[in-house]
Structure 1
């Protein structure tokens, strides 16, 4: 690499912060949406359509709109525009996969809860969520690198002065090809590391799922 470690870490840490915010909020909303669908099945079509809309939105096009609402960040701080785009990048896959996992619950387990006097909420918490955990971690593995990409795209319009996105733009404008490729490699490594961390967490949290987690 053509620059010191501090240069790449300073920029990568900003992007990671933005991706982390979007990853946490986007996936939390996605899991909550899936749970709500199970409690109120009539909402499934609406929730699915909403997820599809977020997936089809051209992030680079709506970035300026989000920036106009969120405003510029404090110098050196994460961009809320980038965080929002990171969240949008993960919402669809987590909603769809979580709903699939919740629906995969063993009917006999649901019947036991019902016979014991439980309602839909008890079935969701005691049976369906446990069944869905491996599915959720599968979605999170995909969402982790997607959130990094969403954050980088958001940085192009997010008014930040640091991060992998603006660093790439600066390298491109100054025709610093070595730095540009090094930053691209760092972005790939960050996304890959995020995937690996979630995959490891999934294996530890769902040992019964084996390779399917």
Structure 2
């Protein structure tokens, strides 16, 4: 249940950009937020997020990933810090890359995602995060708590550790638009400016 609360908190941060192609939706759901059946929404895969332009590619060297404890209160706090850093430091963050069609499924108390099981809602977060990692290029920045030089590694169960990091690691080793570097910052980056290399 903690991870579901974390997923819902993460989903709530998504901000829009220009309209995109419709989501893969089964009969019974209007993409514009009307009547919804509890099983109507098909969660897009990572590749569907990309192929159907449900997520925009972050700018080169501007991708910001964030990770921490999975409790809902921690997620809300870190999300707030990450959003503030993204705005003030010129980073791109996954929620800001989602299309209007994707956002319609997650925004508001009557959003279709609220009709899904906890597992399906978690899957939406994971697939969107995977797409963001797949579309990232150049240097990426990861915000974690603790000293960037000596702080702990991401939790094994986090979305970053399970979904984003393996994709970034693979893309750093191969690919035509490879990840060229990874850097770790702390939550206090806006005051310290400390950024250290991070091994994917």
Question: Same fold by TM-score, threshold 0.5 exceeded?
Answer: no
Greater RCO structure (CA 8 Å; 6+ sep):
1
Compare the two structures and name the one with the higher helix fraction.
1
TM-score for both structures, normalised by structure 1: 0.27
**Structure with greater strand share of residues:** 2
TM-score under structure 2 length normalisation: 0.28
Query: For the pair shown, which has the larger CA radius of gyration, 1 or 2?
Result: 1
